[in-house]
Structure 1
């Protein structure tokens, strides 16, 4: 396993940065990508194994560059074994108060950016007759919740796309793991977009009380090693997935009353 090369997007903070720490500690070779080149370089410089890390800037809102970026990524260590699609943006605004341009931006980054990068790397996986797509979705990829309409839509869309891709490419030894985190203590809510596209600049109470990004990264690491199709990560909020499935009316009543912002 340690001979594998792991490519992590959204690697400059939060879950992505924690994944870099975990995979580095386990001796893997890692490519780190995000828009923030300065933070990526800081993570590499602080690492105990910087020789195993390569910084490759990436903007998920610029899919026309992905074929070239994939070529660069493959050339670094000679291959890519696992792509962890972790990059994305969140939302904190009512649907009625959110500009359509903000809805589109969230979909462009979270959905179209993720699938465009994955499709650009897919020929490499097919050539090697193996590969693993890991997609960091969300619990709201399984159900919608207030103030997250476009965000939930983008995550639901990822499940539809990658469930289909998994079925299509199983015969080619290409795996898909969908990761559904709940409340993780990261800056995701601080950077979340409001109705006019400006950042919230505030930490949610639920995020503040969430599990650590390192605990989340450990759960992702274990799920990827086991090639699980899907994993739910978080506290008691993850049981909302089962409540929604088996008691949908009750779930709706609870959700309407919940303070989820």
Structure 2
């Protein structure tokens, strides 16, 4: 009987830890542990890393983190001038890197026919690829029943199919070289319902399905998959977000809220830690969003009732990191 009591107490403490600790953290427990006790980002020195969507936001700042660590980088996006600026800052941040160590390669991810040519360019340039970071993508603000099917297709083409296309090329290369890592910049919307972002939510769910299957198929090989799921991050993402209408952009400037949103610099650092430690899946968010993630995972039946009790308006505020303005 005493043994059962001890066992029950341990289970209770386990769940309490997952409810209490997120109140003081900005990422999941394993990532927080690895940041202190795991491999540092500097352990990636010399790795060849290709980052898509590297001209701004998380991709841009991840480039700075990896450049500081001594990685050789390929920076891809459509905006050449912005990529050149990112390259300049990468070289300024680590004087030991030469101009040849950071390659700017403009790429329209929607042009899947160009992916193989781009991949061959990377291999010709550096002789190999160690890590592919699928970072490019767009968010959404739209009413579910008003979304045009064209928007659904465009979102999946950019946020899902372009990632799969590049990643399949990378995985085939990794199988030849014997090692490699695929990194996916997803979202907590990849496993939690996201209000007014149905297509975005569906696309991120699809990424988890595709790349968790990849994890299982190659769990005995040296091919690693890291899915990074941020909550609200301080980037100017709303301006480029999809709406319910094809060809339309949301066009709203993202408000600055350092209390409820993880800074883009901090998100990039934590992403670097996740890559260095080859973690399967990580969450990055401030406590309000992070607690909801853990409640959903640890207590799914309770979470269903709890989400309904909170209501749509509150969940919208959490999604847009506006809760702190109420408090």
Structure 2: gaps spanning 5 or more residues:
1-43, 321-327
Q: 220-229 vs 45-54, which deviates more?
A: 45-54
- Larger Rg computed on CA atoms: 2
How far apart in 1 are the matches of 2:87 and 2:224? Answer: 28
TM superposition shift of 1:254: 2.1
What do residues 15-47 of structure 1 show as CA deviations (whole Å, max 9, x unaligned)? 000001111111110100111112111221333
**Cα distance, 1:204 vs. partner?**
4.0
Partner residue of 1:188? 237
Asked whether the 8 Å contact 1:22–1:217 carries over to 2, the reply is yes
Which residue in 2 is equivalent to 1:214?
265
Task: Quote the residue 2:306 is aligned against.
Answer: 250
Deviation track 1:199-225 (CA, whole Å, cap 9, x = no partner) reads 111134487751211100110111111
Larger CA deviation: 49-58 vs 76-85: 49-58
Where do 1:18-97 residues align within 5 Å? Answer: 18-46=61-89, 47-48=91-92, 49=97, 50-97=99-146
Structure 1 unpaired stretches of 5+: none
Question: Conserved in 1, the CA contact under 8 Å of 2:236 and 2:254?
Answer: no
CA contact (8 A) 2:171 2:223 kept: no
CA distance in 2, matches of 1:6, 1:177: 14
Match of 1:99? 148
Residues 84-129 of structure 1: CA deviation (Å, up to 9, x unaligned): 1100111011111221101110011101111111012211111011
TM-score (norm 1): 0.95
Give 1:171 shift.
2.0
Aligned CA distance change for structure 1 residues 203 and 244 (closer, same or farther; 3 Å): farther
Q: Which residue of 2 aligns with 1:123?
A: 172
Helix, strand or coil: the match of 2:58?
helix
Aligned counterpart for 1:199 among listed residues 240, 245, 249: 249
Displacement of 1:143: 1.0
Alignment CA distance shift 1:205-1:244 (3 Å): farther
Q: What count of residue pairs does the alignment treat as equivalent? A: 261
Secondary structure at the aligned position of 2:279 is classed as coil
Give the whole-Å Cα distance in 1 for the aligned partners of 2:257 and 2:169. Answer: 33
Deviations 1:180-209 (A, max 9, x none): 001111121221011113111113448775
Pick from 197, 221, 229: which aligns with 1:172? 221
Are the counterparts in 1 of residues 49 and 74 from structure 2 also a CA contact under 8 Å? yes
Tell me the CA shift for residue 238 of structure 1.
2.2
